[in-house]
Each structure stands twice: as C-alpha cells, then as structure tokens.
Structure 1
C-alpha cells in the first residue's frame, strides 16, 4: 500500500536523517551540562558553540544574537512581553500586530488587551496583503512593538517586512518578525530584512520539535522571559543539547539545498494549483494575486466544508489541513480568511496544501487524482428533478 501523500508541511516536517543521527550522537557524547566547568561539560559547551554558529550562519545573524528557546511560541512571547516591559520605561504602551497573525500570538494579544494593554491590528485586503496605509496610521511614537509574521501560515502571502521596518524605526519602535514560515521556504535572512527580532522554529525545516530561537539584533538589551544565566542571561534553563544540535543539522542541510528546493516547490505548486483548477473548475485560490510562499496553496472547493473535504482526501491517500495545526479542528472559521473579507461559510471551507522538500511530481499527480475522485462528485451540479409522468 502506498504511503499517503503528505501535504501539511506548514504544520510540521519530518526530521531529516542527518538530524536524527546528530541528535542521537549528542545523547551519547555531549550529554553533560554545558554550564559545568569539568571536561565533559566543556565538551558540551564546545558543541553548543559550534551548533549556535551553524544555525546563525543559516539565519543570517551573529551567534551572539541567537537565543535558543523551546520554539517560536516562546520566542514570540519573549519578543512581545520584553518589548512591553521596555516600552513602559519610555512611555510606550501600544502593541501593533497584523490581523492575520498566528493564533498563538493573537491569543497573547487578546489576553493582554483584556488586562488593559492597548493593542491595534493592521488589516489586510482581499488578497491577504497588509494595508500599509493603515499601518502608517497605527505606528506612532507610543508604540512599544510592531510585530508581524513574515509569511502567513495559511495563505502563504508574504508581508512587507522592509516597509514595516522603516515605519517602525521612524516611530522609534522595534520590529519583530515571526519568521517561522519564512525559513527554509524563502531566501530571507535576518541581516537583510530590517527586523530587530526574529522568531523561528526548527520543526518547520525538518528539525526536531521543542527547539527554536529568538534572534535579537546586536545592541538591543532584551529582558528574559525565564530568568537564569544561560543564553547570556536572556533565557534561563539548561540548554536542550539534542534539540539544538538537531536544529543545527537541519539548518545546515536546508542551507545547502535551499535554491533547488525553492525552484522545485514553485514548479510543483503551479502544477498542483493548475491541475486542480483545470480538473475541478469550482476552485478558489486565496492570495492568487499576491506574492506567496512557493509551497503553500490555500484553496476553497465551492463552499464544501473543509472537514468533509479533508476526510475524503485522507481516505483517498492525501493528508492536508484546514489552516494552523493548533486551530484546525474545523469548529471555527479561519480568522485569516475572515480578515480577508470572506464569509464564515467560505472561511470554514478553506483547505491548505503545503509542499515540502520531499514532495515530488508523482505526489502532486496523485493528489490531483485523489481530489477529482473524492471531491469532484460533490461539486457536480445537482440534476433537475424529472418531469412528472402524464397519467
């Protein structure tokens, strides 16, 4: 029996063999605490320093700018809560986000707002593109932080990071970018985009879960979310050595094949979207006129409920999702699509197909065939009722 076609790489990716090998080796050879002064501890410290340099090279930052975290969610919290703590010292109280941020960050913003923290959301247009005119009106000299995802996890639409950086810096505010979906899917680098903070997560680029980083631009003194002496006193807790070394292996591998991976995924994305639209007809592609990630296709098949579509696809050998993995239960319409002007019915019909570096042309062809067989009959127009027979 064929393995299912996996088209949910924006949710997570399979750890590469080089990642598993390095993680397992670390448990054998550098298991000591890297803060210890004895020889085993110092061997672990050297491995940590080397891993930090490898990740930093891939991200386009300095090793000293890299703060290892448990993932992008923690990094996002560290960025937001740190900025608000610093902002209060300067009379800056507002937080400005986009309306289509990851649910985890919007949940933090909602909690802060309920506690009295001023929060403003930058709207997007029907293509999912950020409204820069609205951003100009919101980013003023009372803003503690502007935070935006580099690429939307549901639609793949890219955000205008450079323009936002200029607006934020003109107002005296730092810019934080949730780069979780950027790394491994674009050529974006921390040192080239103008952001002051970047959040990343290893499991989005074939690394392990439970490890990520916040990149803090050199010169910024950032408050710790967890107190302790590790990570230059910016993130307490004994370092996750297997996770960090797995992250380094994944980053190194991604850097070696990035150009080829991006070109191949872009070609396969066009093959998938063109094939589905040609075969099924009633297919709406979100963000079709916007600059998008080369691996992400957010689609609606008529107004068929996403859970029905995904269930039929999985029974036909294709696995995908209806958006962010943490909110893909199907009980609520996508907040991203609602922000783009879709109705709740339409927003509950979206399906996200996200490709990865293992995706091949035959996977795309299998996915199209499965969609035609599983979804096609549901999209066929109902036949008119037969005329009553004459007596």
Structure 2
C-alpha cells in the first residue's frame, strides 16, 4: 500500500502487487498509521534532541513533545499525564507491574496473586517467577465462551491478595473480559488491579476508563504505532502512588521507574496513534464489524465453530475452527490469499496447543483446527468466498 498525503489512512487503491496476500494478523502487529509515520520521521530527522537535555532548543522541543504525549495517552483512558510511564511495550509494562510489586508484597505479607489461565505469556511468566519466589498464585479458568466470571475473582480474594491481573481482551480469541464487573467486585478490597490492555487500548474506550483499574499495560504496535514503544499507566489512589520497585535503574527517568533515554520519536508516534484512535473510533469499529459479518457469512456452509462468544468479541478478531480442517494445512492453503495465524505471535514457533483454547475446555479437534483472523480499519477486504472455498476443499479432501 501507499500513503495518501495529508490523510490518516492508507490509499487502499495501491498495493505491493497481486502476489502479496491480504494481511489478517493485526493481533500480532498492525501497520503504521500514515500520520504516525510522518511524525515519527519528523522526530527522527529534525527534532531529534534528547528530552533530558535542558541547555538547548533541541532538548526542549523533545521534552515538550513527550509532555504532550503523556496528555494524549492519558486522555484515552481518563488518567492524568503524570500517571503515564513510557516503556518499550506491553511486555515490559506487564513485568514492571507484576514483578515491581514483589518488594511491597514481602514487606506487608501480602503474597497472593490472582490471574487467569488465558493471559498472555508476558503476564503468566512473571507471575510464575513470583510463585517460584514464594508467592501463592490462583489461576482462574475461563468459561466456554472465553471469559472469566467476575464471581470467580471475588471468590478467590483473600485478605493477603496483593494483585489481580486480568487482560482486557484476549489476543487469541478476541473475547472481551468483564473488567467493569471485576473492578466492582474489588471495590471493598485493597488489592491492586492490573489490566493488560495491549489488544484493547484505543479500541475499547469506556471499559478502560474505570478508575478502579490501578495499572494498565499499553502496546504501540497493536495500535498502528511503531514496535518498541508502550506505556504503563499507574493511577494514584488519592495522593498515593503505587509502590512499585523499578526493574531498570540508572538515570531516574520516568519517575525513577524506568531509567533510560526516552525514545521521543516512538513516544510521539504512540501519542498520535492514540489520539487518532479515539477520533475515528466509531468509523473504525464499523469497518471492522462489516468485515467480520461478511467473513461469518462466507463460513456458514462450512459449519464452522467460533472459539469465543461472538457477542463478547472484539470487532476485528475471529477465532474459528472448521470440522476436518487442520490449522497448519489451512494456513498453507491460504497463504497466497491471506496472512493469518493459529494463535499468539509470541508462541507461533511452537506447535503446542493453544493454552487459551485448552483452558476454555474445547474439544481437541477444535483446538488443533483453530484459525485466528484479525484485521483493522486499514485492511483491504479479501475475497471471503474464495477463502471459504479453499477451506472447503481441505474439508472434503
């Protein structure tokens, strides 16, 4: 595709050639929004100063852009600018939110953590590290629809529960978790609530503005910004900041929680992508719903099973299985038409069954046949009927 100058979107009449498949793996990473790309280049080439340099205009301009970026990112979820800590992405944010609580947990005797079996590995593995260090962990299963019941969170709470970590939307199924109801269940408890919002930031608006969410992880490359930038939003409780211990030291940047020279160009890109996402939220959602509905219609003759409650699924994601169709065979058969996956990009080199679908207690044949299609407002609609026809050929072979 090419960039349409002066617009927020790609010129969808141009492409890289007929041999290139339509990209349908946006839950793994998204293309860069053109307006974002322009700003990133501007701060790489022109305003390339260090935001920590106080003695000249280059540094001052960089600092001013970072300050505006905090405002823009915070505004998406109703936070305050000084509650935004820039990181390299959601994985680092998750690690800081979880491992950063270890010291306060030990000092207060609160060593119980609640999370879910369907979290991204960037949550499950830090939690497992704390388990190895003596913390007690409760892993909650989802129901067959792919979400965790709020009552199960409430039932698992203990006086020594330090942290509850639940993702906003699942990266494999697209199922939206009931964050509002979970937050309500925690209202009278002092535990910290962390939400991995990598798949939802800028896409779910009201749900992430709940003030009971203490910590929120954000990823730029899931929202049409570059890879390598994200944020951890840390809401204060009154005047109290969350007592995190930094994982990276040596400079004191980001309120001492994440030392290192700030990547101003990437921060600017994240902020611009966040602002545009809110501005065009309704039209983007409508386009994604249109693509999803047409895909569902095309799959009807194949008797496909949808892995996740469609009434609770993000409009840009569809995880499904076709009887008699193995996911690896389907990906090969479709590779010249669409670029898709059969699970998380972080574990795509592994042929182990999806831990998310296993936790949902789905039949083995559905798990091994599961395909994840994920798109965006920038996606050119593929020939869904041709996609379905290819799958049908495998089904009948």
Whether 2:396 is the aligned partner of 1:375: answer no
**Gap runs ≥5 in structure 2:** 1-16
Tell me the secondary structure at the aligned position of residue 15 of structure 1.
Answer: coil
User: Where does 1:200-211 land on structure 2 (aligned, <5 Å)?
Assistant: 200-211=218-229
**Equivalent residue for 2:197, pick from 179, 190, 198:** 179
Once the two structures are superposed, residues 78-105 of structure 1 have per-residue CA deviations (whole angstroms, 9 ceiling, x without a partner) of 1111223222222100111011001222
Once the two structures are superposed, residues 54-80 of structure 1 have per-residue CA deviations (whole angstroms, 9 ceiling, x without a partner) of 222233321111000000000001111
The runs of at least 4 aligned residues of structure 1 exceeding 6 Å deviation read none
- Using the TM superposition, give the Cα deviation of residue 21 of structure 1 relative to its aligned residue in structure 2, in angstroms: 1.0
CA contact (8 A) 1:145 1:175 kept: yes
Please name the residue that 2:263 is paired with.
240
After TM superposition, the structure 1 stretch with the greater mean CA deviation from structure 2, 174-183 or 130-139, is 130-139
CA contact (8 A) 1:61 1:190 kept: no
TM-aligned CA distance change 1:376 to 1:303, over 3 Å: closer
Please name the residue that 2:154 is paired with.
136
User: Where does 1:1-80 land on structure 2 (aligned, <5 Å)?
Assistant: 1-2=17-18, 3-39=20-56, 40-80=58-98
Tell me the secondary structure at the aligned position of residue 111 of structure 1.
Answer: helix
Using structure 2 for the length normalisation, give the TM-score.
0.89
CA contact (8 A) 1:96 1:143 kept: yes
CA contact (8 A) 1:94 1:143 kept: yes
**Equivalent residue for 2:367, pick from 341, 347, 351:** 347
TM-aligned CA distance change 1:303 to 1:64, over 3 Å: farther
Tell me the secondary structure at the aligned position of residue 97 of structure 1.
Answer: strand
TM-aligned CA distance change 1:234 to 1:306, over 3 Å: same
CA–CA separation in structure 2 for the residues paired with 1:24 and 1:58: 24
Tell me the secondary structure at the aligned position of residue 170 of structure 1.
Answer: coil
Higher normalized helix content (fraction of residues): 1
User: Where does 1:124-163 land on structure 2 (aligned, <5 Å)?
Assistant: 124-163=142-181
CA contact (8 A) 1:162 1:193 kept: no
CA–CA separation in structure 2 for the residues paired with 1:330 and 1:225: 29
TM-aligned CA distance change 1:6 to 1:289, over 3 Å: closer
Whether 2:223 is the aligned partner of 1:226: answer no
CA contact (8 A) 2:77 2:205 kept: no
CA contact (8 A) 1:129 1:290 kept: no
Whether 2:220 is the aligned partner of 1:197: answer no
* Paired residues, number: 374
- Using the TM superposition, give the Cα deviation of residue 193 of structure 1 relative to its aligned residue in structure 2, in angstroms: 5.6
**Gap runs ≥5 in structure 1:** 383-391
Once the two structures are superposed, residues 372-391 of structure 1 have per-residue CA deviations (whole angstroms, 9 ceiling, x without a partner) of 1x2212212x7xxxxxxxxx
CA–CA separation in structure 2 for the residues paired with 1:340 and 1:51: 38
User: Where does 1:80-119 land on structure 2 (aligned, <5 Å)?
Assistant: 80-119=98-137
Using structure 1 for the length normalisation, give the TM-score.
0.91
Q: CA RMSD in A?
A: 1.8
- Say which one has the larger Rg: 1
Please name the residue that 1:306 is paired with.
327
CA–CA separation in structure 2 for the residues paired with 1:148 and 1:304: 32
